[in-house]
Structure 1
Amino acid sequence: MRVLYDHQIFYYQRFGGISRYYSELFKAFNKNNEIVPVIPFTYTRNEYLLNNIEEFNFIEPKFLVKHRFPGKGKLQALRNKYFPQYDTSIINTTSVINSLLEKKYDLFHPTYYDDYFMEYINDKPFVITIYDLIYEKYPDNFPPKEVETILRNKKKLIECANHIIAISESVKQDLIEFYKVNENKVSVIYLGNSLIQNSLETNIVRSIEIPDRYILYVGNRLAYKNFIFLIKSIHSILQNNKQLYVVCTGNKFTAAEKKIFRELKIEDRLIHKFVSDYELALLYKSAKIFVFPSLYEGFGIPVLEAMSNGCPMALSNTSSLSEVGGDAAMYFDPTNSESICNTLNICLFDDQVRTELTRKGRERVKLFSWENTAKATAVVYAKVLNTISKNPI
């Protein structure tokens, strides 16, 4: 079976959960001949693809894309403005459209929500993966024009797709609620964990200058992630425990965030780190607790990362997080400061609770793997093609 994938997410993301999802599918499919991914685009800055060019036989990216140098982004923007024929986004889109028109594939799986392909796909089936409904639930977190475009295209693809993959039961129920989708059109397929487990914990953690006792926060800090409310809720815990810190990955702290830290008199207790996957795994291993206060998640890959690296978890009781974390976490109401404080106090200061959560996490994470994701995805592809063959247009 030949499955055509497009360029969208690999053009937008250098790193990220969605592009990681597809690259892991490619790796799993590469181990057998059941699914043959067709990747027609030329340009990408995505590290997951660049690191596997030889394995997947991708076309070698051009110089401006593969190599990094100061001012590259500005140079590319100028090139695209004054020489649109060299705009890599346009070139990628054209390459995919040509592949659609050639029809040398069995099924199409677009990697994001742009509907550019609809007039070219003709009678070929396509499957769409829905990662979350964050634009629907929290539109104020994003630019209005972006929200308008995403929701318009997304609605069209949801209506027209032959089948929909949802990455959690929570997302499936959101689809049914928001878009009135027939539940039989949606298959829930869980994601896997890519973060390596390490044993060289002590030396590496010391090399990146991490304190002995810390709460770990992973990911971006958009408003729906609820980070500021978390910090305001637990600032008294930090003030009463002078050796306790909060270590954050993701983007650097903003000026607004630093101002809040100063007002709470805990500016010296918040630490930001850019880390590799290897270092992140070790941060999980050494943390007292991983906390995920998000108001909404489509899945929650950091939950798998924490479990696989033996980190006890305190999670928001919303959306998909309890679905993924199961009994391997303690849960709190992310809108209630007292609930957050009580939960973290137990997790931080009860060694027996942390030990039990770690044990349960190591067992639960075995339920999730990219191999399982790929197998279930192949079943969906086969189901769609079988339905088409029985009911030809």
Structure 2
Amino acid sequence: MKILVNAIPLKGLLTGISRYVRQLYTELEKLPGVSVSYFDGLRVTDRMPEQADSMTWAISRKAVWRLPDSVVFAARCIHQLLFEANLRRLCGRGSFDLYHETTFFPAALYSIPQILTIYDLSLLKYASSHPRERIWFYNFFRKRRMPFASRILTISDFIKGEINSSLGISPEFVDTVHLAPAPLFSKRNTGEVNAALRRLALPQEFLLFVGSLEPRKNLPKLIEAMKIARSNIPLVLAGWEGWGDKEWLQTLKGSPLRDRIFITGHVSEEDLAFLYSAAKALVYPSLYEGFGLPVLEAMACGCPVICSKVASLPEVAGDAALFIDPADAEGLAQKIELIVNDQEVRKKYEILGKARANYFSWKKNAENTFEVFMKATQNRK
């Protein structure tokens, strides 16, 4: 099967979507009879593009966000239409059997079967937490483009249900294929971990949050819980600054907690594995997730997990996490104290977490995804 994939996520920052595309296609390329080509809107290559430098990428994002929303929206629309025109020319030559769309919505393409991966519906459910121009762009194209999808892939049964209830798409056209932690996420030895902590100027003991520092991640409630908890353990926030207001940062001014909060910015996957291996626990009080990959990454590294009992997170974590109500700072503070002070509880969730993480694999993901691709091409014949 000759697959053409939208490779634009592979050229940005290594975050959730780009991790998905990179890990999936690393495994798909190993399958017999599979040929993958990567399309960035201008060029096609048979090699996976290199990920962007995090510093350069962050500077370019800030420059874009300084522009008026109407200008960014117009530029996005023009880029999308040019992307689709180039895509149609490519696929009209009979060179590919299937196109995999990895961004917001399907492309205007009918000549070959098209699979769309939907990661979550936050642009509908939490529109106020996203930049306005992104919402305009999504709303303008989504309804116009959804009929071009042959089938839809999604990453949790929770999102599959939302696709049915919110988009009105029958479950028979939607396939769930769960994500997995990348193979490099495993418990690291103490010497390597300590060297990484010194290099990153981080304390020896800490709680860890991983993800973009954006509204859905519920960081104000985490900060509130840290203020309530009696423990003086530091908190490390690992992830790029994201978007939205950062009023919770302002609340730290003049607070004793200020000296216990460490913000790393975006870190490499290798450093992330060191952070998971060092942390007392991952604290993930998110309001809404399509999957919640940091939960499995932490578990694979032997890091106990405290996470919200909402959206996809119970599906991902199973019985291997301490669950909290993301609206309850007091309850979160109690779970923080429990995990910090009780070694037996930490060991219990370390063991449960490792077993849970081992249930998921990218090899299995690729095989199941390929079955969906085959289904789409056979239905088209």
TM-score bin (small chain):
0.7 to 0.9
Report the Cα offset of residue 152 of structure 1: 3.8
Report the Cα offset of residue 35 of structure 1: 2.2
3-state secondary structure, aligned to 1:31: coil
CA distance in 2, matches of 1:107, 1:226: 38
Structure 1: gaps spanning 5 or more residues: 78-83
Are 2:34 and 1:35 equivalent residues in the alignment?
yes
Q: TM-score, normalised by structure 2?
A: 0.85
Are 2:332 and 1:340 equivalent residues in the alignment?
yes
3-state secondary structure, aligned to 1:102: coil
Amino acid at match of 2:96: Y
3-state secondary structure, aligned to 1:113: coil
2:285, 2:326 within 8 Å by CA — same for their partners in 1? yes
CA distance in 2, matches of 1:341, 1:69: 37
3-state secondary structure, aligned to 1:306: helix
2:154, 2:174 within 8 Å by CA — same for their partners in 1? yes
Structure 2: gaps spanning 5 or more residues: 65-74
CA distance in 2, matches of 1:70, 1:233: 32
* Paired position in structure 2 for 1:227: 219
CA 266–90 in structure 1, closer or farther in 2 if over 3 Å, else same: same
Moved more, 155-164 or 288-297: 155-164
Report the Cα offset of residue 31 of structure 1: 1.4
Which residues in structure 2 correspond to 1:162-177 (within 5 Å)? Answer: 162-177=150-165
Q: TM-score, normalised by structure 1?
A: 0.82
Are 2:96 and 1:97 equivalent residues in the alignment?
no
Question: How many pairs were matched up?
Answer: 362
Are 2:250 and 1:259 equivalent residues in the alignment?
yes
Report the Cα offset of residue 88 of structure 1: 9.1
CA 59–19 in structure 1, closer or farther in 2 if over 3 Å, else same: closer
CA distance in 1, matches of 2:226, 2:361: 34
Moved more, 147-156 or 360-369: 147-156
3-state secondary structure, aligned to 2:275: helix
CA deviation map 1:107-162 (0-9, x unaligned) = 111121255x41xx334211111000111111111233321321342344444411
3-state secondary structure, aligned to 2:318: helix
* Paired position in structure 1 for 2:3: 3
2:91, 2:111 within 8 Å by CA — same for their partners in 1? no
Are 2:242 and 1:250 equivalent residues in the alignment?
no
* Paired position in structure 2 for 1:362: 354
Amino acid at match of 1:190: H
CA RMSD between the two structures:
3.3
* Paired position in structure 2 for 1:110: 101
CA distance in 2, matches of 1:69, 1:287: 28
CA 216–70 in structure 1, closer or farther in 2 if over 3 Å, else same: closer
CA 279–151 in structure 1, closer or farther in 2 if over 3 Å, else same: same
2:171 to 179, 183, 203: 183
* Paired position in structure 2 for 1:80: none
* Paired position in structure 2 for 1:81: none
* Paired position in structure 2 for 1:372: 364
1:2, 1:37 within 8 Å by CA — same for their partners in 2? yes
CA 377–157 in structure 1, closer or farther in 2 if over 3 Å, else same: farther
Are 2:13 and 1:14 equivalent residues in the alignment?
yes
CA distance in 2, matches of 1:292, 1:126: 34
Moved more, 158-167 or 32-41: 32-41
* Paired position in structure 2 for 1:131: 119
Report the Cα offset of residue 70 of structure 1: 11
Amino acid at match of 1:9: P
CA 41–266 in structure 1, closer or farther in 2 if over 3 Å, else same: closer
* Paired position in structure 2 for 1:301: 293
Report the Cα offset of residue 187 of structure 1: 0.7
CA distance in 2, matches of 1:141, 1:57: 35
1:43, 1:88 within 8 Å by CA — same for their partners in 2? no
2:279, 2:303 within 8 Å by CA — same for their partners in 1? yes
Identity rate, percent = 26
2:42, 2:86 within 8 Å by CA — same for their partners in 1? no
* Paired position in structure 2 for 1:241: 231
Amino acid at match of 1:174: E
Report the Cα offset of residue 330 of structure 1: 0.5
